[in-house]
Amino acid sequence: MGNGTGIELKLRQSWNKYNLYNLYRQTGREPQIRGTPTFFQQKWAAKAKTRSYHGEHIPEKKWVRLFSRRLLSAVDMPPEYLAAHDGSEQAAGRGSGLTTSNVTAETFSKVPALSTQERSRRRPLFGDVNKLLSDQFNNMTPYMQMTFAPLERRLDTAVFRALFASSVRQARQFVIHGAVTVNGKKMVHPSYQLNPGDMFQVDIEKVMYGTGVQKAADAHKRLHENLEARQKKADKALQNAVKKLGGNATAEQAAVEGETEGEKPEAEAEAAEGEAAATEDAGSLTPEAQWKLNNRALKFLLKDVKKILKNNPKELSAKEKKQLRLFRADAKRFLSHPEKSEADVVELIDELQLQMKSHELMRESFEKLDLKEGQAQSQVEDGAEAEAIEATSKEAEAQPAVNREREVEKGLEGLSDEQKTKAKKIIGDAKLSKEEMRKLARLLQMDEENPVDDSKPYATPWRPRPYMSAFAFIPRYLEVNPNICAAVYLRHPVARKGMAEVPTPFSYLTSQLTHNWYLERG
Amino acid sequence: MAPRLSAAATPLAPVVDACLVQSCKSKSAPFVRSFSSTPCQQKMSRARQQMYQWLKGREGSEFADPKGGPRYLGPLQDQPFPLNPLFRSQPVLDEHTRELIWDKVMGRGESLKAVSAEMGVDVRRVAAVVRLKEVEKQWQREGKKLATPYAKAVMSMLPKTYYREGEKNLPHEPVNEIHVHKLTMQQLFVPVSESRHFTREDAAKAFHDTMLSVDARSPQPELINMEREILEGKSRQESLAKFKEATQKEEDKVARRIVQEQQREEKATTRVTTDRYEFRFKEINADDVGRNGRSRKGTGWRYGAPFDDRKRGLVKIPTSVP
């Protein structure tokens, strides 16, 4: 009413941007009084305005039945005050018109006061009726703002207030679709009146859908393209490596390689299987050739990761995040997990670590070839020690690793010095320090928490929808645990000195007129 | 059924053909057809333009992608609605504080009231936090995935209270809040002699004979007693220990009562397990139905007594969920 365009602007219980803009430009303000609107007209306008926000999906008849003229409020009575005074000091000396003490319960209160710090100062609107009242706000209990308190008891409104849905209508849909439980029992009535102590819980998938960014049609097309390209590249690199090594190898191994080549077309169709086959083939190579193959694969794997690990894990760019995801897919392939497997991050990292460790031990064996026998022994012990520190539980696995290292040492005895130096040069790129490994694990864990998943109905990785922060507040009558998307309705909303708990975008004057309308006293 | 298109509109066949052609041309594109036959406006209206100007401007873009920390529309820092300074976004307990509350209650076995008094959190909230945390822990044990990204995003948008153990902390909320009773909302004029010691109890009596005073309605009477003892000259530590003991004792009593209740219930029922069901038999008293046979306490349906649970006009929505 009265915005000049002839269109009735309404505020809604919703997080959308139109609503945000309407809130910003103070759509719900009391209009400047022109002419002589009657009290009835003012009340009507106020009621229409407030009802379009508070339960516009509820028929008027039902709301009228819910309306209660008994507005709840509470007073803070600090125990210190109640212990120190029995209340008689309030009356003392009043008879003679004296005020002998200024002791009140409020002076004992330690609860932090509401902020009075202004963020921005906007030019006050001309003829702002609300301004006249606002001076007294800090000293009164705003009962009128509690007019719509009975609606806050409704299940759908509570779900919305607990930030589990982006609008009341969505919350209502969640309830009707059976995604909400009250005290562990499915509740399909959005108008269920919560009782103090009731716990309601919303399906987390629904919450993520309601509060997350909407899914675009081909959001992860690029990522999938990249993944495919990467897989091809990895296959090619492996093929090349095998071919190269085949040149040095004996005829026997060449035959094995031939088999590998033969398998390749199949491997491209089913990458994981092919990869496994390739590694198996590599197993039949000499230890040296196997090591080289492994080295190549590791180098390829860790190419981008090294760069990522140098940065702050909290401030990864979109590209780096993508690289991390690609790395994960690669690592799965490298460790010959099936592509679709739901491998745990911890598992993945552990395996990778084991791989690297055995790789590292092989490197040490190269170095040892230059050194004397005794020193080599001590290094083996060092390696064992490092392992013991890193994970005591893996001691059983460490033993075969050491065994393998001995085997490798035996196999590499025939290597020339030239080859050894070359190998050492390569190794530098194919290892991660313990610290880097830990960091990588953390990064992958973070990615695991919020993964890319096309099967979800919302954009993944999950992000809060735009403009959510302006609406993010949880009133005190709810206790919310966002981790499990559950909340407890502690008590009915109350008014206190200087503040009412019912979230309403309207000024005191508007609420007052509305309350008067529903009192039905002319 | 007649086609929805009017006779004046283009005949159906070419439209269908066109659609077919289109669908053949691009398999990926869904079947697109607008619902409205009115042409969309060529120009954006001025109001719409202004809206986008604001949304894309400095202020609007701040809301679109927040930099961390709460950010509201209102002129005051914690005011979400610009027109209503009487509603503020009050801080919530942060993750660590909730974990600490759970640990204090479930791990160290402190009483709810003691935790409430120490941390400045309402007793009901303490209980709720513990209850919700328990569910969370259960989920973790079961290996159910939590809504971690959502929780992180939400907690970063909300103002929070932090509680650090062993430091001086501000209370989260008043722990001893008293509801304003309906009877006390009237103004009374009670003539009393000047010499009379007119206390809170007397004031309550003046409102109504059965009205209780604030002290009696307090959720933390032990805390008031503690403060009283301190004022009388006892040391804080001593009376705090006494307070903790008293609250502990009270809670133990409640727990014992619940256990007893369960035991009594168990004793009264006979369980017979078959391969499909577990039958539970209880002794009932036929006189429980009362004189007119309609008492709520009665068991089962009585012949001739109307059973209203499916009647038209009666509300079927449950009023409580046990």
Q: Burial code of A78-101, b = ≥16 C-beta within 10 A, e = fewer?
A: bbbbbbebbbeebbeeeeeeeeee
Cβ atoms of A11 and A28 within 8 Å: the answer is yes
Cβ neighbors of A423 (< 8 A, separation 6 or more) are A291, A292, A295, A363, A366, A415
**A168 belongs to a structural domain:** yes
Q: Best-predicted range by mean pLDDT among A91-95, A174-178, A446-450?
A: A174-178
| Three-state helix/strand/coil letters over A466-490 | CCCHHHCCCCCCEEEECCCCEEEEC
Please give the radius of gyration of chain B, using alpha carbons only, rounded to the nearest integer.
33
* pLDDT of the residue at B230: 96
Amino acid identity at A291: W
Nearest-neighbour CA in chain B from A417: distance (Å): 53
Other Cβ atoms closer than 10 A to B291 = 7
Point out the residue among B148, B153, B226 whose CB comes nearest to the CB of A464: B153
Closest by Cα among B274, B139, B198, B30 to A486: B139
User: How does DSSP classify residue A192?
Assistant: -
CA distances B11 to A426, B3, B5, B31, B299, Å, are 73, 10, 8, 19, 70
Interface test with A, best of B154, B170, B177, B192 (most A CBs within 10 A): B154
* pLDDT of the residue at A285: 60
Point out the residue among A195, A199, A469 whose CB comes nearest to the CB of B131: A199
CA distances A387 to A358, A365, A383, B24, Å, are 11, 16, 6, 62
Q: Which residues of A touch B78 (CB under 8 A)?
A: 114-115
Is the pLDDT at A1 greater than 70? The verdict is no
**A8 belongs to a structural domain:** no
Contact assignment for B157 to A469 by CB distance below 8 Å: yes
* pLDDT of the residue at A94: 63
Contact assignment for B124 to A481 by CB distance below 8 Å: no
Residue with tokens 């020193």: A375
State whether A271 and A409 are in the same domain: yes
Q: Please, which residues 474-493 of chain A have a Cβ atom closer than 8 Å to chain B? A: 474-476, 479-488, 490-491
Rounded to two decimals, the ipTM of the complex is 0.84
Task: Locate A485 and state its tokens.
Answer: 């998307």
Contact assignment for A77 to B214 by CB distance below 8 Å: yes
Q: Which residues of A touch B173 (CB under 8 A)?
A: 111, 476
Contact assignment for A449 to B149 by CB distance below 8 Å: yes
Contact assignment for A74 to B178 by CB distance below 8 Å: yes
| Mean pLDDT over the full length of chain A | 76
Cβ atoms of A148 and A475 within 8 Å: the answer is no
- A318-334 helix and A221-248 helix, angle to the nearest 10 degrees: 50
Nearest-neighbour CA in chain B from A138: distance (Å): 8
Task: Locate B274 and state its tokens.
Answer: 């078959």
Cβ atoms of A376 and A368 within 8 Å: the answer is yes
Residue with tokens 């060529």: B42
Cβ atoms of A112 and B170 within 8 Å: the answer is yes
* pLDDT of the residue at B24: 41
Nearest-neighbour CA in chain A from B73: distance (Å): 6
State whether A279 and A427 are in the same domain: yes
Q: Which of A117-121, A221-225, B108-112, B137-141 is predicted least confidently?
A: A117-121
State whether A348 and A225 are in the same domain: yes
State whether A201 and A239 are in the same domain: no
**A33 belongs to a structural domain:** no
Is the pLDDT at A89 greater than 80? The verdict is yes
* pLDDT of the residue at A116: 78
Cβ neighbors of A459 (< 8 A, separation 6 or more) are A212, A213, A214, A215, A216, A219
Interface test with A, best of B56, B83, B138, B190 (most A CBs within 10 A): B83
State whether A252 and A332 are in the same domain: yes
Please, which residues bridge with residue A198 across strands?
A489
* pLDDT of the residue at A133: 64
State whether A198 and A273 are in the same domain: no
Is the pLDDT at A253 greater than 60? The verdict is no
Interface membership of A116 toward B (CB under 8 Å): yes
Task: Locate A395 and state its tokens.
Answer: 């001691």
Q: Residue A93: closest CA among chain B residues belongs to which residue?
A: B194
Please, which residues bridge with residue A435 across strands?
none
Closest by Cα among A345, A352, A355 to A442: A345
Measure CA A423 to chain center: 44
Query: How many domains does one find in chain A?
Result: 2
Nearest-neighbour CA in chain A from B268: distance (Å): 26
Is the pLDDT at A353 greater than 50? The verdict is yes
Cβ neighbors of B282 (< 8 A, separation 6 or more) are B268, B269, B270
Nearest-neighbour CA in chain A from B127: distance (Å): 9
* pLDDT of the residue at A50: 96
Contact assignment for A119 to B74 by CB distance below 8 Å: yes
Closest by Cα among A257, A245, A237 to A301: A237
Is the pLDDT at A410 greater than 50? The verdict is no
Please, which residues bridge with residue A185 across strands?
A182
Nearest-neighbour CA in chain B from A494: distance (Å): 8
Task: Locate B284 and state its tokens.
Answer: 């009932």
Identify the CATH number of the domain in which residue A194 sits: 3.10.290.10
Closest by Cα among A17, A26, A170, A461 to B64: A17
Interface test with A, best of B62, B138, B150, B228 (most A CBs within 10 A): B150
β-pairing verdict for A499-500 and B177-179? unpaired
Contact assignment for B86 to A508 by CB distance below 8 Å: yes
Measure CA A11 to chain center: 29
- State the Cα–Cα distance between residues A20 and A35, nearest whole angstrom: 31
Other Cβ atoms closer than 10 A to B132 = 23
Contact assignment for A142 to B231 by CB distance below 8 Å: no
Cβ atoms of B101 and B130 within 8 Å: the answer is yes
Is the pLDDT at A286 greater than 80? The verdict is no
Please report the number of interchain residue pairs, chain A to chain B, with beta-carbon separation below 8 angstroms.
273
Cβ neighbors of A388 (< 8 A, separation 6 or more) are A395, A398
- pLDDT < 70 positions in chain B: 1-34
Q: Where are the domains of chain B?
A: 62-173, 182-267
- State the Cα–Cα distance between residues A36 and A156, nearest whole angstrom: 40
Point out the residue among B63, B75, B224 whose CB comes nearest to the CB of A118: B75
State whether A415 and A332 are in the same domain: yes
Q: Which residues of A touch B64 (CB under 8 A)?
A: 466-467
A20-59: pLDDT as tens digits: 999 999 888 888 777 888 999 999 999 999 999 999 999 9
Interface membership of A207 toward B (CB under 8 Å): yes
Interface membership of A521 toward B (CB under 8 Å): no
Is the pLDDT at A477 greater than 50? The verdict is yes
Nearest-neighbour CA in chain B from A192: distance (Å): 6
Amino acid identity at B162: Y
A368-388: pLDDT as tens digits: 665 544 444 444 444 444 444
Nearest-neighbour CA in chain B from A505: distance (Å): 5
- State the Cα–Cα distance between residues B122 and A488, nearest whole angstrom: 13
State whether A185 and A320 are in the same domain: no
Closest by Cα among B161, B173, B178 to B116: B173
Is the pLDDT at A341 greater than 70? The verdict is no
Mean pLDDT, range A52-76, rounded to an integer:
95
Other Cβ atoms closer than 10 A to A270 = 13
Q: Which domain holds residue A181?
A: 154-215+461-491
pTM of the full predicted structure?
0.77
Point out the residue among B86, B148, B200 whose CB comes nearest to the CB of A449: B148
* pLDDT of the residue at B148: 94
**A355 belongs to a structural domain:** yes
State whether A179 and A304 are in the same domain: no
